[in-house]
Amino acid sequence: MQNKILVANRGEIALRIIRACKELGISSVAIYSTADTDSLHVKFADEAICVGSEKSTNSYLSMNNIISAAIATGCNAIHPGYGFLSENEKFAEIVEKCNIKFIGPSSKVIEQCGNKARARKIAQECGVPVVKGSNGVVKSLDEAKVIAQEIGYPILIKAASGGGGKGISIVKNEEELTRTFEKTMLEAYANFGDRSVYLEKLIENPRHIEIQILADHYGNVIHLGERDCSIQRRNQKMIEETPSPFITEKLRERMGKDAVKIAKYLGYVSAGTVEFVVDKEGNYYFIEMNTRIQVEHPITEMVTGVDLVKEQIKIAYGQELSFKQEDITFTGHAIECRINAEDVEHNFAPSPGKINNLVFPGGFGVRLDSHLYSNYVVPPYYDSLLAKLIVHGQNRKEAIRKMRVALEQFVIDGIKTNIEFQYLIMHNPDFVRGSYDTSFIKRFLELVRSEA
């Protein structure tokens, strides 16, 4: 049987996967909603099949429609990309039961990592440090009060099934805890269909450092270094870079080893990311494991030369990793800016609509992963990511310079974007020095607004 992959996603990541399939000589089938009929992923795949109407719940989140599409088109694998159903263990389980390869870890592993309270326990069992917090899910406010006393304020209430920076509340004292606890549970239920929450001590202004891993079916597990994703707005990443200006060789090695330890313990197969927060002293703490390809994966590809999406596909089809830990080397410095359809001046409100003039940046060491084309209409139904602008330089200074030039030459007319905002960050002295943490954007916004 010839290999054929259903790409269960849209936008730039669908294109990224289709391109990898083409390079590997594997047929690809795009799925699309009625809002995406004119999308590039529909045009570039070998086949395309409509899976429902505009709303994601009727299309990109419809397990029945997607699995039927895979069967109808004779696919023997499904790549879920990121978001949508990529970390849904039920979806992975049905795919497995239909004898279709799910390009990702097993449904069992997804389930173990999907509940972040459980994932914490797994990290602890591996001897990997976690942030001080509750021992699993906290069921009542009374229980939360006792635990909060023990760990000390400020603390975070986190949705166990949360993701994408949502379902996290900070509380500074018992009064705030009382006010927020049940509200967070309700929000967790509304957003993730699961009301369970757990508590974690707030690490003041940490860095977000994550380790990329790859694991095959034969017990080979390697890491591909870190990504610094500390430039975030409301716990959502905006700029990522590797290597982290903050991480020493020693720390990289220790964190890498710990990430591999967790993956081995889980029996993990495919690409995955182990996320940590790191405090000012360089103490690191596990926060969660993401069982999919990450938005920011290209920066790791640029410095290691490893095509992570191709590796995911090869692993899913049973190939052994063709390299070992000692073969992984890091060359130069890579930065990614997420270009979103949003109105920075109006609290980053989504800005869908028609794109008129479009000019893509380019040149040596510049990579653009995007599904945009001129006259494309950005639909209002999905996330606001328009493009990922990635640069690779010999060192951090060169990468920043390249990013400045690329942002300057990037034109998207017709809708509002954050291109200029990213450009300003690339000139901020703290960013240029590499001296930042997860509070950077908040402070930067105050600075920009005070100067306006």
Q: Which two tokens stand for residue 424?
A: 């300003």
What is d(CA 146, CA 152) in angstroms, rounded to the nearest whole number?
10
User: Reduced to 3 DSSP states, what percent helix, strand and coil does the chain have, rounded to the nearest 5?
Assistant: 40, 25, 35
Q: How far is the CB of 146 from ligand ADP (least distance, A)?
A: 19
Does residue 202 bind ligand ADP (CB under 6 A)? yes
Nearest Cα neighbor of 95 from 67, 62, 64 is: 67
**Contact by Cβ (8 Å): 383, 295:** no
- Residues serving a catalytic function are 292
Which stretches within 84-208 are classed as H helix? 89-97, 107-114, 116-125, 141-151, 174-192
Structure tokens at 351: 């800005």
Which x/- pattern over 108-137 shows residues binding ligand ADP (rule: CB under 6 A)? -----------------------x------
Would you say 243 and 306 are in contact if contact means Cβ atoms under 8 Å apart? no
Distance CA 309, CA 292 (A): 10
- The strand pairing partners of 227, in sequence order, are 210
Identify which of residues 273 and 300 has a Cβ nearer to ligand ADP in the complex.
273
- In the shown chain, the binding pattern of residues 153 to 182 toward ligand ADP, with x for contact by CB under 6 A and - for none, equals ---x-----xxxxx-x--------------
Selected from 49, 214, 277, 293, the binder of ligand ADP by CB under 6 A is 277
Q: What is the total count of residues that contact ligand ADP (CB under 6 A)?
A: 20
Which of the residues 221 through 250 are near ligand ADP (CB under 6 A)? 232, 235
Candidate residues 12, 111, 187, 200; the one interacting with ligand ADP per rule CB under 6 A: 200
Question: Does 191 engage in binding with ligand ADP (CB under 6 A)?
Answer: no
- Pick the piece of the chain touching ligand ADP (CB under 6 A) from 29-37, 81-89, 199-207, 251-259: 199-207
Q: Which helix (H) or strand (E) holds 337?
A: strand 333-340
**In terms of CB distance, is 12 or 200 closer to ligand ADP?**
200
Nearer to ligand ADP, 88 or 232 (CB): 232
Alpha-carbon gap, residue 140 to 329, rounded angstroms: 48
Residues within the interface to ligand ADP (CB under 6 A): 131, 156, 162-166, 168, 200, 202-203, 206, 208, 232, 235, 275, 277, 287-288, 438
